Structure 1
Amino acid sequence: MRPFAFLIAALSLFAGAFAVDIQKSVIISYPDSTPDSVVDQAKKAIIDGGGMITHEYHLIKGFAAKVGEKALDTIAAWGKEHNALIEEDQVVKGL
Structure 2
Amino acid sequence: MRLAIFSLLVVLLATYAMAVAPQKSVIVSYPDNTPDSVLSKAKQAVVEAGGVITHEYKIIKAFACNAPAAILETVQAWGSQYNAVVEEDSMVHAYDDNN
Give the length in aligned residue pairs.
82
* Residue aligning to 1:6: none
Q: Is 2:64 the counterpart of 1:64?
A: yes
* Residue aligning to 2:21: 21
**Take 2:69 and 2:55, find their aligned partners in 1: how far apart are those partners?**
19
Deviations 1:19-75 (A, max 9, x none): 321100100110010000000000000000000100000110111000101111110
- Where structure 2 has 5 or more consecutive residues not aligned to the other structure, the ranges are 1-10
**Take 1:47 and 1:19, find their aligned partners in 2: how far apart are those partners?**
16
**What one-letter code is carried by the residue in structure 2 that aligns with 1:30?**
Y
- Where structure 1 has 5 or more consecutive residues not aligned to the other structure, the ranges are 1-10
Question: Higher Cα Rg: structure 1 or 2?
Answer: 2
Secondary structure of 2:54's match? strand
Calculate the aligned-residue CA RMSD, in Å: 1.9
Overall identity of the aligned pairs, in %: 51
Q: 1:1-95 to 2 correspondence within 5 Å?
A: 15=15, 18-93=18-93, 94-95=95-96
